[in-house]
Amino acid sequence: MVHHVPWIYTPVRTVLAIWNQLTKTEIPELAKSSVLMRERSRVEDTIHAMQRAGAGSLQVISDFDMTLTRFAHNGRRVPTTHNILDNRLLIDEDCAKKMRELLNTYYPIEIDSSRTAEEKLPFMVEWWTEVHELLIQQGIRKDMLAQAVQESSAMLRDGYKLFFDRLTEQQVPLLIFSAGVGDVLEEVMRQHRVFYPNVHIISNYMDFDQTGVLRAFKGQLIHTFNKRDGALSHAAGLRALQGRPNVLLLGDSLGDLTMADGVSEHQNILTIGFLNDQVEERKESYVDSFDIVLVRDETMDVANAVLRCITSSRRNK
Ligand code: C5P
Ligand code: MG
């Protein structure tokens, strides 16, 4: 019978512990009071696996409205790309009123924790379809969009510049996958000076006629709960994202979790969910579904810290 010889194991364990400390980068931001995690050790293991693989293996997939943009500022809601269009330069008062009524009807359904995504789906199609029809009737002018964005209170989350700059420096592709309006989204990015070449966008784009007047929306409608379809149909066309098996995913809706469904042969996926609204009602399902949940956190601090850690691999130096 072989007896244990602890004096051999103790130094081995000590060396392993020191090695772990040396190779792991701590992320103090994960201790913020706004952070909830179902399984902290899994989060850390995933981050370290992604760190070892380096920036060359990483892609970031993010939602736009209320994920890259703030939810609220000084107690007031920050407009989504659709809401930025609520400007008299583009639509009349009657249309604005109807859009607000639709928002009041359908937004509570979108965030209702007592309904499944399947149950919400037909309501989302109704909402988006009706709003797009209203917008088309208004004959929106393409050359007025930039001014409407300028006059709006659109705001990206605090720390956004660090986020976009880091991704660009490290040549990590960023896919923004939005059920908002692509043309408006691009203009928000341009005016914040972060519409870099590593940014790719899937969204609802406006189709203008030769005189620059809106006549339709291009392609298949994207709403909050059909992002999986868009992810699968666009995957082949997004060459910059291919061969990058590690995914950092950011979203504010449970529907955003399907944005990475087009990534074939993924190795590690880390999901961060912004829980902006209906916090108590949705907390449990968010913690069950996202790896990291950020409760009423208007900053990019945690995403930036995770990104800094993943892209600080020795391989990149
Ligand atoms: O970029 P993202 O996918 O988040 O854009 C969709 C968001 O826009 C939804 O969460 C929804 O609340 C909002 N929306 C809106 N007005 C509409 C349609 C959607 O504010 N007419
Ligand atoms: Mg969103």
- What's the CA-to-centroid distance between 255 and ligand 2, angstroms? 9
Two tokens at 27?
Answer: 């992320």
Residue range 212-233, pLDDT digits in tens: 999 999 999 999 999 999 999 9
Phi, psi of 266 (to 5 degrees): -75, 150
- What's the CA-to-centroid distance between 18 and ligand 2, angstroms? 41
- The pLDDT assigned to 23 comes to 52
Residue range 146-156, pLDDT digits in tens: 999 999 999 99
Does the annotation count 165 as an active-site position? no
- The pLDDT assigned to 236 comes to 86
Does the annotation count 65 as an active-site position? yes
Average pLDDT, the chain: 93
C-alpha 63/C-alpha 249 separation (Å) is 8
**DSSP string covering 53-105, please?**
H-GGGEEEEE--TTTTB-SEETTEEPPPHHHHT-STTTS-HHHHHHHHHHHHH
Global pTM exceeds 0.85: yes
Residue range 245-299, pLDDT digits in tens: 999 999 999 999 999 999 988 999 999 999 999 999 999 999 999 999 999 999 9
Cβ–ligand 1 distance for 103 under 6 Å, the answer yes
Cβ–ligand 1 distance for 226 under 6 Å, the answer no
State the pLDDT confidence band at 316, using cuts at 50, 70 and 90.
very low
- The pLDDT assigned to 235 comes to 87
- Coil, strand, or helix at residue 207? strand
Q: Quick one: CA dihedral 153, 155, 158, 161, positive or negative?
A: negative
- The pLDDT assigned to 9 comes to 62
Residue range 240-260, pLDDT digits in tens: 999 999 999 999 999 999 999
- The pLDDT assigned to 315 comes to 52
Domains of the chain, start order: 36-71+155-316 (3.40.50.1000)
State the pLDDT confidence band at 17, using cuts at 50, 70 and 90.
low
Provide the CB-side half-sphere exposure for 175 (13 A, CA).
28
